[in-house]
């Protein structure tokens, strides 16, 4: 049964907006390859994208946009199984058919109904594979390729009401899962056991995927913030850092919280309290018209109050939606103004929060930019969360 939260009219609105931007940048046609962008512009969603899949469209006739799908995904694209295509034109190609046979043998033939050799072709190069781009270049050797990644982020940046509802629900599930952590932890538990429990809970709440593999760090291992869960066992007097990103309708949550299993050392308590204030300084900047860079600038000022000699941190966070990292990136030099219904992950960090021999204190919260400031989508204690030691 189809899961869509949008209709064909909304897809056409997105396509039209993208076409206008493409035309303004001198792009004749687009070949959209990123799975999130394909979903956004066609309604078609899959979790594999193991073969060439694209939305092709001309800037001058966006209503004729076509979804190009391999035969292995024919039913998924055309039948109300999960998230089928909402475009009027969906074409299936078949690999391995004879040249003189009745089947389309390659996606180039379908692209040729939309793309003209010599076009300026926009491709979302930030995530496109070398092979995909190479195929387009080979099919249209006289064409110029331009990066259209930012154009697609531009049209995705402001979230609609259905998108906001999906983002809100995804983050509600993330919060509910992490609130269960104190009752889950026990001496000897492995990181993979904890990750499995969180993932299972999210699935039970109708999460239809994850923005990234659930990240768990016990003790000093948490100093590598993107390390996956392992068989490492939990021992008393250990920091526990969790990054969790369940999805609803393909829209991401991204919450990070830090627990302490046992009685935390004074240094951990102090750094955690400082980190909360650093994040609060960044959050104070969130309002329409504020520059994206102002969040990290405010965080820098607060960091230097606590740690005058600390090196500058990179960014205060990022936007998110269908993917975990969208624009704007909250780097201190970003002069893009914030707008109502942008959704941001706010997570400024600093070197002192990396406590050698103890672990990493970090947290991340999701906010929606509102008329007067922001709405917090991850309503959960942001301090260091202590958990009593217990046996299984």
Whether the full predicted model's pTM is greater than 0.85, yes or no, is yes
pLDDT digits (tens, 9 = 90+) for 42-68: 999 998 888 999 999 999 999 999 999
CA distance 59 to 21: 9
The mean of the pLDDT values for the chain is 94
Greatest Cα-to-Cα distance within the chain, rounded to the nearest angstrom: 75
CA distance 224 to 210: 20
User: What's the pLDDT score for residue 239?
Assistant: 97
User: What's the pLDDT score for residue 303?
Assistant: 94
pLDDT confidence tier of residue 96, bands split at 50, 70 and 90: low
CA distance 60 to 26: 11
User: What's the pLDDT score for residue 4?
Assistant: 95
pLDDT digits (tens, 9 = 90+) for 202-243: 999 999 999 999 999 999 999 999 999 999 999 999 999 999
pLDDT digits (tens, 9 = 90+) for 65-76: 999 999 999 999
Domains, the chain, in order of start with CATH, read: 8-156 (3.40.350.10), 161-387 (3.90.230.10)
CA distance 270 to 353: 10
pLDDT confidence tier of residue 383, bands split at 50, 70 and 90: very high
User: What's the pLDDT score for residue 99?
Assistant: 61
Per the structure block, which two tokens stand in for 166?
């999906």
CA distance 203 to 269: 33
CA distance 182 to 194: 11
Cα–Cα distances in angstroms (integers) from residue 44 to residues 2, 38, 252, in the given order: 10, 7, 17
User: What's the pLDDT score for residue 352?
Assistant: 81
pLDDT digits (tens, 9 = 90+) for 97-106: 556 665 556 8
pLDDT digits (tens, 9 = 90+) for 308-322: 988 877 899 999 999
How large a percentage of the chain has pLDDT more than 90?
90
Work out the average pLDDT over 299-328: 92
Q: Phi/psi at 334 (nearest 5 deg)?
A: -85, 115
pLDDT higher than threshold 90 for residue 295: yes
User: What's the pLDDT score for residue 351?
Assistant: 82
Radius of gyration of the chain (CA): 23
Full 3-state SS string of 42-71: HCCCCCCCCCCCEEEEECCCHHHCEEEEEH
């Amino acid at each position: 049964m189809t899961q869509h939260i949008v209709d064909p009219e909304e897809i056409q609105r997105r396509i039209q907006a993208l076409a206008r931007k493409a035309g303004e940048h001198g792009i004749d046609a687009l070949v959209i390859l990123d799975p999130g962008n394909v979903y956004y512009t066609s309604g078609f969603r899959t979790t594999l994208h193991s073969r060439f899949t694209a939305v092709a469209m001309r800037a001058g006739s966006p209503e004729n946009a076509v979804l190009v799908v391999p035969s292995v995904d024919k039913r998924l694209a055309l039948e109300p199984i999960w998230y089928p295509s909402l475009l009027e034109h969906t074409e299936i190609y078949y690999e391995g058919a004879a040249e003189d046979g009745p089947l389309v043998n390659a996606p180039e033939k379908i692209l040729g109904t939309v793309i003209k050799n010599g076009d300026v072709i926009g491709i979302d190069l930030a995530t496109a594979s070398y092979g995909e781009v190479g195929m387009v270049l080979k099919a249209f050797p006289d064409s110029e390729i331009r990066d259209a990644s930012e154009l697609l982020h531009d049209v995705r940046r402001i979230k609609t009401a259905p998108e906001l509802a999906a983002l809100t629900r995804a983050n509600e599930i993330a919060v509910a899962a992490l609130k269960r952590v104190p009752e889950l932890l026990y001496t000897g538990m492995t990181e993979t056991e904890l990750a499995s429990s969180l993932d299972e809970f999210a699935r039970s709440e109708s999460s239809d995927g994850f923005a990234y593999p659930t990240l768990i760090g016990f003790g000093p291992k948490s100093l590598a913030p993107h390390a996956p869960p392992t068989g490492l066992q939990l021992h008393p007097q250990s920091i526990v850092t969790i990054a969790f990103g369940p999805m609803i309708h393909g829209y991401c949550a991204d919450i990070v919280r830090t627990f302490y299993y046992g009685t935390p050392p004074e240094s951990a308590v102090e750094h955690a309290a400082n980190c909360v204030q650093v994040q609060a300084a960044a959050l104070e900047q969130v309002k329409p018209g504020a520059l994206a860079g102002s969040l990290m600038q405010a965080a820098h000022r607060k960091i230097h109050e606590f740690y005058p000699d600390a090196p500058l941190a990179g960014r205060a966070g990022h936007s998110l939606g269908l993917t975990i990292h969208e624009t704007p990136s909250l780097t201190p030099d970003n002069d893009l103004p914030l707008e109502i219904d942008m959704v941001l992950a706010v997570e400024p960090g600093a070197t002192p929060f990396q406590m050698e021999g103890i672990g990493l204190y970090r947290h991340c919260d999701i906010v929606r930019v509102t008329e007067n400031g922001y709405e917090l989508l991850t309503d959960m204690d942001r301090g260091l969360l202590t958990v009593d030691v217990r046996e299984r």
